[in-house]
Structure 1
Amino acid sequence: MPVTQAWLSLIALSLGSTLLALFGASGIWAALAMLALAWIKAQLILRVYLNLQSAPGWGRGFALVLAIYMSVIMGLAVLAG
């Protein structure tokens, strides 16, 4: 994915998070949606901007750590809601 396309994707995902917050989305589903958008943005940054797509082993390692972290955060959000 070219850097420009990744940048546009990051802007679109940020706009999605902003719209959720702006229109007062609340509750567990809103929290999970915002966390999912953040997860996708983090994966884009790791793959494209840090160029981990050219190092598959490192990319999988970072993706695994990110998946574990986001799963814990999402689980805590569900428990809190």
Structure 2
Amino acid sequence: MNLTTREETVLACIARGMSDREIAARLSFSVSTARKHREHLLAKMQLRKSSQLTMYYLARHRELFKKAGRILRIIHSRSGSANTCNGSRAA
């Protein structure tokens, strides 16, 4: 499905769990405009819930998450321990 640049931006905000108020503040428009963007995306994709928009976003950008997963596995394998957190080893 083809989305405009603005729709992609709003969709990314929704996927990050932002409220209409937060989206409006971030993108410099009114709360009602943010709400309309959300409603339009739901209608355009024939979805009913914002959580479905998030799932759509994640599926659409799965390559980014695959790359992030590879990076995390590399970092994990270099750490030398499965019990590391923030660079410090668990006792």
Same fold per superposition (TM over 0.5) = no
Higher strand share: 2
Relative contact order (C-alpha < 8 Å, sep 6+): which is higher? 1
Higher helix share: 1
Q: Which structure has the bigger radius of gyration?
A: 2
Q: TM-score, normalised by structure 2?
A: 0.28
